[in-house]
Structure 1
Amino acid sequence: MGVSLRRRQVNTSQLSSDIADTIQINHEAFLQKPPLFASLRSFGQSTFGLVQHGVQHQITACLITASIWDFVMVRKYVYVFFGCFLLLLSLSLSVACSGGECTYDSDCEGEKFCQEGKCVDGIVGNACTLNTDCKTGESCISSKCIKVECTDGEQTSCYEGPTGTIGQGTCKAGVKLCQGGRWGWCEGAITPSSELCDKLDNDCNGKIDDDPLCTTTCNDGDSRPCYTGPASTRNVGLCREGKELCTNGAWEGCSGDTKPVAEKCNDNLDNNCDGNIDENCGDCQDGQSRACYTGPSSTRNIGECKEGTQTCAGGKWGQCQNESIPQNETCGDNKDNDCNGRVDELASCNQGCTDGTTRACYTGPAGTKDVGVCKGGGQLCKNNKWEACVGEIVPTTEICGDGKDNNCNNQVDDNCGVCRPGSQEACYSGTTGCTKNGNVYTCNTPCSAGTRTCKADGQWGPCTGETTPAAKEICGDNIDNDCNNFIDDNCNTKLHQPCQTDTDCGTGNRCVRASNVLQICVQECTNDPTICNKNPKRKVCRAYTITDQGQQLSMCAEEASSGQSCDFSKSIMCKSNLVCDNGSCRAATYVNEGEICDSTAATPVLCALGLTCVSFGNGRPNVCLKLCSVANPVRCSRSSFSCMPFQTGGQVGGCIQTTCTQNSDCVFTNTPHECVSTSSGGKLCVSSTSPGTATFGNICDNNTIRCQAGLTCLATSSTAANGFCSQDCTTSGTCPTGGTCTQVSTTQKMCLIPCTTTCSNTQFTCQTIGQLGNFCFPN
């Protein structure tokens, strides 16, 4: 058969087309993995339950009644008596049809309390005047002890999106405010939505515009609908799509869309785009006030009793403030304390006293004397009657901010909200752009803090006059629109995009190889390292070898420390002496030209800048070689070196010593090299394998089975699994026993084992080797 002999340890490029493909590039950048550029878009549709269980029963009852009533009306002259009966039945169902839940507390189950026709959870129902009348965990609201979840005015962060999405992309937490002892709605939170191709991570999965529809290129003048609000609100209520235009081959961002805002009560519009109009608006409009009175109705505005006022907040009426309700009658003060229309009417008030005598007195509610600012006074007997109590201090409305317990409930400044009414302070509602130190904000221009004023209910009003960051940078206006302290950042639309040549990347960028299959655009800083200072993250000007050109450039990069994530496709590079392995930085050692390199070692051994790790195959160790261009091999400065391509016909290669006659001619003495012959008759210095133990005539594979020093593993072809240990020769007399010196090429002779039909070594067979004859080779 026509088989040509191959020396298994000779394995480099352009020396012979049959061994060129075995030399491989093993460069630092090739440890990177190409990014994924595609994902599947999922479209969700929300459904709404139309009828709840209890309401469904009411509607059913009403329909049944209406049907029977119609039946009776048609036959009213025949079924008069039965019609009267059904009329009573319809009246008994009127409550269900009208939607009212209760009239009295007894109409509600368990510990619910009837408030304005509704059974409210958490109302214990015990009558009270002060918070001290209630159990622990309850407050006195509208003369009833109510279980509270929180303190009025208290705020807490909230988030209702999927676990792991908060803080990713556009997703952020909101705030809940406590009103009337209950937590309100979660306001200001942003949860995941469908990817909108707006250069933001809308679905909060850590990837920007990871959707097949988010193409990065387009034709100028093209437009497409867009929407930057939550996907479920698109074209619902007031929310409407916008339009995105194509400019300079790229989508410029969504404009003109209308997104959800907080529901505005009583405007008959669906402001928050959830399909409901004026929902959760409560019983009143915020800021409304009305007269109120929690005492017995017969005592309202009688004697010392006076009605108060209550204000609407969060759609609910607040506590009745500044009212006076009946107290125990105080003899001698000439007042109608119990508001029954009579002054000092008690029998005990008519007992005489001796003029000039005095006694201690206190007219405040029981349990408030000597609590807070409250204290007793004294009375003087005159004309055999006790005069008014003098010098006492009774409970008054709490004065917020004075540090005193004015209403004598053993709590200082209680129910005062979070601020003193009328006070002002600096405020800022943005999440970026300004930082707060104490009460002072430091902002990146043009962002600025505003001012908020404390309302009458002790809650802060809206922040006015502030400037928050724009949704995205407006490229070319020389303004830091997003207030991140970098002007016109994120305007490099070509950065990290796939490319073929530098012209694909635009001004200031270069096209470099990021992996074996991917080339991307990076920002070059070779001539101006300070340009990296304008980037929020890529602040370091890092040198990088362009493997396709055999030269170096510097690029703006973000540096990662040991254990941190790295991704060359995003310009995230490991710091010096670290290598990016499987997306994580770890320690590495760098070596010079001609030295052994191994990126798979526990501590990777990598080539210094400007070198690449080259494999000669056949079990030989990898070594660092200088990169070069076949068309311009000037980088191979040594006279005995040539630029040998890594692939047949390729233009990029490594500087390899091609002039030698014996091993000692190889210049890299710090790493064992040997001078070997090629099938084309040339000589080449390649890295030496550590010698094995196989002797002449025995099987070898240059991997687990290697020949002794001075012997060569010879096989019938480069793809053969095994060969046998042979050696160079001049005559048969220089071959070991059983060997014959045979001319295997025009310039080389080697010792072969001749045969006729069989071989003494049962692992070998007698094979015809071209025109040379029959020789023993492994099966």
Structure 2
Amino acid sequence: MGSLLYLCLLITIQYCALSLGEPSQYRLYRPYGNNQVVITDGFGRSFLQSSASYRAASTSQVSATCTSTTCGPNARCYVIGGRAVCSCFKGHTGDPLVQCKREECLYDSECRGQLACRNGKCIDPCAGTCGANAHCQARGSTPVCSCPAGYTGNAAISCRRFNPEELCHPSPCGPNTHCEVRNGVPSCSCLPGFHQTPSGAVVGGCRHECESDAECGPIQACVDFKCQNPCLSQCGENAECETIANHRAVCKCPPNYFGNPHVSCKPECYGDVDCPSSRPACIYGICKNPCEGECGEGANCELRGLTPVCSCPKDMTGHPFVRCRPFEPRDLCEPVNPCGTNAHCEPGFDRSGKERPVCTCPHGYTGDPLIACFKGECTEDSHCPDHQGCIDLKCQTPCINKCGVNANCDVRRHIAVCTCPAGYSGDAIIQCYPKTFTEVANYRLY
């Protein structure tokens, strides 16, 4: 029945094509507007063409009939409206004018094993069928999706790892309990501050440790549903707990405090303003003199505000927080040297006769002893080159300001040698004068 309908459709198409003079290689056309038609060839390719050129092409074609060579192998030929029409046999694909090749399969039964026939090919029915992380198993060419062990979810969409904590949501335990998964099994335990019921079944819930003092020991009280030491909560601020009697704390105020020990004990002072001038500092609730016990033996203590400042008397020295002793001359330079770096300190006197440290640079050093002394370049001429001498601990020429006016200076063996130049005479240490004509003549005569 299906083949008959298909044949009738082809006849109708060819009849319409014949009325327009359609070429035999074309299978279908339809008007598009603006004197154009859409033409589809035997390979399913479509394109636009003007009606005039389409009719011209149609009239140039010759009517064809079916022969043994009209269509290719595995293709059938029909004559519809005086035109030959070729098509591949069922289960075949390709160009019917050249050759049609049989597809790999038509039915699942033609495929081996668990493969399925899809679009003429035997394929794995599981390929791309199941969701992420899912397993697929083909059963009679039908894909069956499932989540693997340790996973859960919709296998057709996505599988996710199973979280054992899900066993506790919702919790199978009773009120005031905590659910925890252990070895894949939910386990119940009481929350902090709660205990098992007398039956001992945690699944039924947990209760408070106590509801009244009678449920606690003789030296404990039921506080916030727990058996606790009543001294921790029943005594007032700053109060002390002496003992416990009949689940109750016996409280008292500490020394120098006053008030209701079950409510609050007040200290001697809350701030410095509460203290007298003789004890001006409020220290841990007690008025005290900050100088008491702060300074060393023989030291003076003065308050700057409320800060104790310790110092030794003017005629004494030492550590004011340990001991002060009478001043000695050696104390001018010890234990801290008041002079500059590398300088030497000796006890001495100033111009008025008062004792003071005297700073000097040691031998071979130079500089300001009050600031710093530096080791000199040399201490004797032998430390310098032959053309220099050791002057002020530095190797330098000894000619500076040594010879007279117009005299020459030459250094040999670290000594400045002064001579008058040619044409000059005189004392080279003082001054050299140009020679007169007579002196020159006498010199030549000689």
> What TM-score do you get using the length of structure 1 for normalisation?
0.19
Structure of higher CA gyration radius: 2
Select the structure with the greater relative contact order (CA < 8 A; seq sep ≥ 6): 1
> What TM-score do you get using the length of structure 2 for normalisation?
0.29
